[in-house]
């Protein structure tokens, strides 16, 4: 069982930056691929970024490529999402998730509770 807790969300102006963190409870964190997903208001949840257990493989949604960076620190059981050049359309609840294999689509095995990111124009 893996418990995930996101933090770092908030309100930011367009063009600004935020860094989301996701702390995992399990010592087996290193064995999981990690992903970030988001759910904009009134829309379905969508893939944002994923990283393999070692960090050697990374994949981004086209909508965030070049602006967002996913990374992980296995010593701290934490995955990050650095978000730069934020746009109003990035407004969403952001979720981190853990999975046995790296994939760009659901389902993932474990999910955090989500953190709200709001980008004002």
The one-digit pLDDT tens for each residue of the chain (121 residues) are 899 999 999 999 999 999 999 999 987 888 999 999 999 999 999 999 999 999 999 999 999 999 999 999 999 999 999 999 999 999 999 999 999 999 999 999 999 999 999 999 9
User: Rounded to whole angstroms, how far apart are CA atoms 113 and 37?
Assistant: 12
Residue 57: what pLDDT?
96
Residue 29: predicted pLDDT: 87
Which residue is listed with tokens 């807790």? Answer: 5
For residue 23, count other CB atoms closer than 10 A to its CB. 16
Nearest to 30 by CA among 97, 96, 78, 94: 78
CB atoms near residue 72 (< 10 Å): 23
Given this model, what pLDDT does residue 79 score? 97
Using alpha carbons, select from 90, 102, 50, 95 the residue that is nearest to residue 72. 50
């Amino acid at each position: 069982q893996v418990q995930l807790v996101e933090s770092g969300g908030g309100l930011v102006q367009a063009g600004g930056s935020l860094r989301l963190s996701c702390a995992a409870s399990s010592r087996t964190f290193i064995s999981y691929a990690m992903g970030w997903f988001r759910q904009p208001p009134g829309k379905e949840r969508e893939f944002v970024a994923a990283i393999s257990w070692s960090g050697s493989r990374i994949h981004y949604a086209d909508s965030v490529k070049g602006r967002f960076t996913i990374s992980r620190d296995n010593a701290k059981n934490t995955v990050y999402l650095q978000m730069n050049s934020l746009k109003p359309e990035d407004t969403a609840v952001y979720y981190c998730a853990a999975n046995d294999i790296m994939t760009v689509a659901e389902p993932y095995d474990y999910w955090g509770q989500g953190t709200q990111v709001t980008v004002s124009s």
